[in-house]
Structure 1
Amino acid sequence: MPVKTVWAVEHSCGHTADHDLSARPADRRAGYARWLSGRDCTDCWRAQRDGDDAGRAAWLEGKRAEEQQAATQWAAEFRMPPLTGPDKALAWGERSRHQLMTTAYRVLVAEGSLDEDAWEEIEEQARTLDRAGWWIDQRDAAPNDLPELLAAATDADRSTENPHY
């Protein structure tokens, strides 16, 4: 007699569901059915996951607000110009610029061998780049690549030649 392929599993949530286990080898079906019984059914699992999305979204919104506040304060303190681009990209660009610049400072100056005068030159170059999209594109760049990336930026990434407008 062949091993059954459809198993009625009573899940930990109390619901019973039929599971087609024909894709599993015959000698692994019973163990998998037992494993399934320790889990919520698909409907309950989805309901809980969707409920968690609201909490995750609230956490992410709070995290983004903290990052945005830090980026705004940093930009004011270091005289970084406002970024240009679509409204949707401005906040993301500001956070990306802040994260890359502060990480690069730590890697190149605080932990590295670059002196403050050389860093000031890097800051001056960064002030000329005001296109939010450029900073978003560099968000995954290695911090020690920042000087080369700034040098490679084009006029399309700058709205003005004067960094002190």
Structure 2
Amino acid sequence: MTVKKIWAVDHQCGHQAEHDLSGRPADRRAGFARWLADRECTDCWRADRTDDAEAKAAWRDKQRAAEQAEADEWTRRYGMPPLEGSERAVPWAVRCRHQLLAAAYTALVVEGDTDEADWAEVEEAARTITRAGWWIDQREAEPGDLPELLVAATDDDRPTENPFL
């Protein structure tokens, strides 16, 4: 006898739906079906998310404005230079730079063994990078990698042209 592949699930919202769980290993289907039962059905889930699109956009804009204000204040307080780039890229890059440097400070100084003098060198290297695109490209970097990334970005010996073109 084979483990069933189509499961009838009574969802939290009160709807029942059949789910094809054949893409899951046989020994994980029952657990996944229980997990599905604790959630809304697909139609209810979509309805909850699409009806309030304007409210979500307003919330996102409010969050982004708060992050931008915090990043602008931080930029002013720590004497970071203005960034160069497009009208859309610069505010985004300012937020990315703030988030990365703040996370790196926490990882390296607060939780790590970097002293304030060494951190000052990292901060100075960061001040030399004014291209908005560089900061945007590093937005998902590990905070502890920042010193190495800054060294790579400020290395004058690296080729300035793309060797693959």
Please report how far the alpha carbon of residue 41 of structure 1 lies from its aligned counterpart in structure 2 after TM superposition. 9.7
Instruction: Please give the residue correspondences for 1:55-66 in structure 2 after superposition, counting only pairs within 5 Å.
Output: 55-66=55-66
* Deviates further, 142-151 or 47-56: 47-56
Residue number in structure 1 paired with 2:124: 124
Q: 1:51 Cα shift?
A: 2.1
- Could you report, residue by residue, the CA deviation over 1:90-138 in whole angstroms, capped at 9, with x for unpaired residues? 1110000000000100110111110101000111000000111100000
Shift of 1:55: 1.4
Identity of aligned residues (%): 50
Deviation at 1:35, TM superposition (A): 0.3
Q: Extract structure 1 runs of 4+ deviating beyond 6 A.
A: none
CA deviation map 1:23-65 (0-9, x unaligned): x85xx5xx469604xx7895x8766532221111111111101
Q: Which runs of 5+ in 2 are unaligned?
A: 18-39, 157-165
Describe the SS at the equivalent of 2:89. Answer: helix
For structure 1, the 5+ residue unaligned runs are: 1-23, 157-165
User: Which residue of structure 2 aligns with residue 73 of structure 1?
Assistant: 73
Q: In the alignment, what sits opposite 1:151?
A: 151
SS in 1 for 2:51: helix
Q: Distance in 2 between matches of 1:48 and 1:40?
A: 11
Spell out the pairing of 1:90-101 with structure 2 (5 A cutoff): 90-101=90-101
CA–CA distance in 2 between the matches of 1:118 and 1:45? Answer: 50
Q: How does 1:1-165 map to 2 (within 5 A)?
A: 31=8, 35-36=16-17, 48-154=48-154
Query: RMSD of the alignment, in Å?
Result: 2.6
TM-score by length of 2: 0.67
- Could you give the per-residue CA deviations for residues 51-96 of structure 1, whole angstroms, max 9, x where no partner exists? 2211111111111011000100000000000100011101110000
How many Å separate the matches in 2 of 1:45 and 1:99?
32
Sort the Cα spacing of 1:126 and 1:47 in 2 relative to 1 into closer, same or farther, 3 A: same
SS state at 1:112 partner: coil
CA distance in 1, matches of 2:131, 2:155: 10
